[in-house]
Amino acid sequence: MHDLANQAPGERLGSRFSTWLLRPYLDLGPCQVGPTHAKSVDAGWQANADLDSPSFLPQRALSPGFRMQLAEQAGAPYAINDPRDLAEDLRTDRWRKLCHDLELWPTLSSARKCRLAMLLHSMCFYEPLLKLIPVDWSGASISDLCGAQLAFCRASAKFMLDLPKRTSGYESETMSAFENIAIDDRTDRAVRFNATAMVFVQKAKSRAPLAELDDWSKRLEIAFAAVKDGENGFAARLLESRFHRGMGFLPQAAGDQEAMIRTMDIAEHQARDLAPTSAAEEILYRENLHAVLESRTKEALWLNDLDLAAARAAELTRIDPYDSKAWVELGQVHYRQENWRRAADAYVVAATLGPPASSVGRYMAGVCFGKLGLDFLAAFLFKETLEIDPLGISSRQEIFDLPDIAALDTLKQWARSNIRL
> CA 149, CA 194: separation in Å to the nearest integer?
10
Considering the entire predicted model, what is its pTM?
A: 0.91
Taking the alpha carbons at both ends of the chain, their separation in whole angstroms is: 40
pLDDT band at 168 (very low <50, low <70, confident <90, very high): low
Distance CA 49, CA 27 (A): 15
Nearest alpha carbon to residue 36 among 24, 52, 26? 24
If one counts every other C-beta atom within 10 angstroms of the C-beta of residue 214, the result is 14
Residues 340/371, Cβ–Cβ less than 8 Å = yes
| Whole-number percent of the chain with pLDDT over 70 | 94
> For 30-81, what is each residue's pLDDT tens digit?
988 999 999 999 999 999 999 999 999 999 999 989 999 999 999 999 999 9
Average of pLDDT values for 370-398? Answer: 90
Residue 343 has pLDDT above 90, yes or no: yes
CB 331 within 8 A of CB 347: yes
pLDDT for residue 3 is more than 60: no
Cα–Cα distance measured from residue 62 to residue 323, given in angstroms and rounded to the nearest whole number? 12
Question: pLDDT at residue 4 above 50?
Answer: no
| pLDDT tens-digit map of 291-312 | 999 999 999 999 999 999 999 9
Sign (positive or negative) of CA dihedral 58, 64, 69, 74 = positive
Each residue of 87-142: pLDDT tens digit?
999 999 999 999 999 999 999 999 999 999 999 999 999 999 999 999 876 544 55
Residue 9's pLDDT is: 56
Contact 57, 343 (CB under 8 A): no
Residues 6 or more apart whose Cβ sits within 8 Å of residue 207 = 169, 253
CA atoms of 96 and 321, how far apart (whole Å): 31
What are the boundaries of each domain within the chain? 1-132
> Quick check: helix, strand or coil at residue 46?
helix
Mean pLDDT of the chain: 91
Handedness of CA 325, 326, 327, 328 (dihedral sign): positive
- For residues 393 and 292, the model is more confident at 292
% helix, strand, coil for the chain, step of 5: 75, 0, 25
170-216: pLDDT as tens digits? 777 889 999 999 998 888 899 999 999 999 999 999 999 999 999 99
Q: Residue 164: which pLDDT band, with cuts at 50, 70 and 90?
A: confident
Interatomic CA distance for residues 352 and 336, integer angstroms:
22
For the cut 60, the answer to whether the pLDDT of residue 372 exceeds it is: yes
Long-range contacts of 96-101 (CB under 8 A, 24+ apart): 97/49, 98/28, 98/45, 98/48, 101/48
Between residues 2 and 407, the one the model is more confident about: 407
For residue 1, pLDDT over 50 is answered with no
Residue 236 above 50 pLDDT?
A: yes
The CA-based diameter of the chain, rounded to the nearest angstrom, is 73
User: What's the CA gap between 51 and 47, in Å, rounded?
Assistant: 6
Instruction: Find the helix or strand (DSSP H, E) in which 268 lies.
Output: helix 257-273
Query: Residue 416, class by beta-carbon neighbours within 10 Å (0-12 exposed, 13-18 middle, 19+ buried)?
Result: exposed
